[in-house]
Amino acid sequence: MPRKPRIKSETGIYHVMLRGINKQRIFEDKQDYQKFLNVLKETKEISDYDLYSYCLMSNHIHLLIKENEVELGEIFKRFGAKFVYWYNYKYSRTGHLFQGRFKSEVVETDSYLLAVLRYIHQNPRKANLVKSISNYPWSSYNEYIGNKNICDTQFILEIFSKNKSEALSEFVKFNNQTNNDLCLDLRENNRVNDSEAEEIIKKISKFKSPTFIQNVNDIERDKIIKKCKNNGLSIRQIQRLTGISFAIIRKI
């Protein structure tokens, strides 16, 4: 049976997970973790993608990544060629290291972007590896609070605030909140279709038709659109159903 094509993200942003084949360990020592990050940095320079977050666990990896000119599949081909070759040579092994092709989900709203970011950073704490996420050395959390290495932190911080110190304070508070975030596996199967999206818009706006939103003032329009995005509607869906431009919706 042919594999289903991946859903394309309208923002270019994806939450990606790589798992060791047969759930085996990927990282045996500090050198393995560091090599992975080095290769991540090398492929980032070659493939020109944006990296917002990462967490390297013993047998799986989470990345929050934005593709630009080079598509996600090509990025991971380049990455795999470098890291797996090095890994197999080090451990005198052959064959695949990762379980099948990488798993991914689209990230199309700021609210879900931040939820994924927090989910990734809290992986080590939820696995009882550390008491504080700041104590885990193989995630991007500490890049945001002063030790920047390979992450593009400015984009995320500016979602919290344009003021640098305020953004950092809100980032720390948000990432340490207790939550029940469930990403990738569950969200991937719950994409809202256009018929459901239309009903959600009408319920939120209390209008008979989604296009009526065009007639309200900007403040009220933005409130409605923000609620729609928080309810899982994609930018393109809102654009199609309301007639409001992509650029306006993307900024909200």
Q: pLDDT band for position 174 (50/70/90)?
A: very high
| 187, pLDDT greater than 90 | no
Parallel, antiparallel, or unpaired for β 50-56 and 60-66? antiparallel
| 189, pLDDT greater than 50 | no
Query: 13-186: which CATH architecture?
Result: 2-Layer Sandwich (3.30)
Identity of the highest mean pLDDT range in 137-141, 143-147, 204-208, 209-213 = 137-141
Residues 6+ apart with CB under 8 A from 181: 115, 116, 118, 119, 122
What's the sign of the alpha-carbon dihedral 85, 18, 3, 79? negative
pLDDT tens-digit series, residues 28-86: 899 999 999 999 999 999 999 999 999 999 888 999 999 998 888 899 888 888 999 99
At residue 223's C-alpha, the angle toward residues 217 and 224, to 5°, is 90
What is the per-residue pLDDT for 191? 58
Bridge partner list, 104: 16
Domain boundaries along the sequence of the chain: 13-186, 192-251
Q: pLDDT band for position 99 (50/70/90)?
A: confident
At residue 222's C-alpha, the angle toward residues 218 and 225, to 5°, is 140
- Angle, helices 153-160 vs 110-126, to 10°: value is 110
pTM of the model: 0.72
What is the per-residue pLDDT for 113? 94
* pLDDT > 70 fraction of the chain, expressed in percent and rounded: 94
Closest to 18 (Cα-Cα) out of 50, 64, 87, 68:
64
What is the per-residue pLDDT for 185? 52
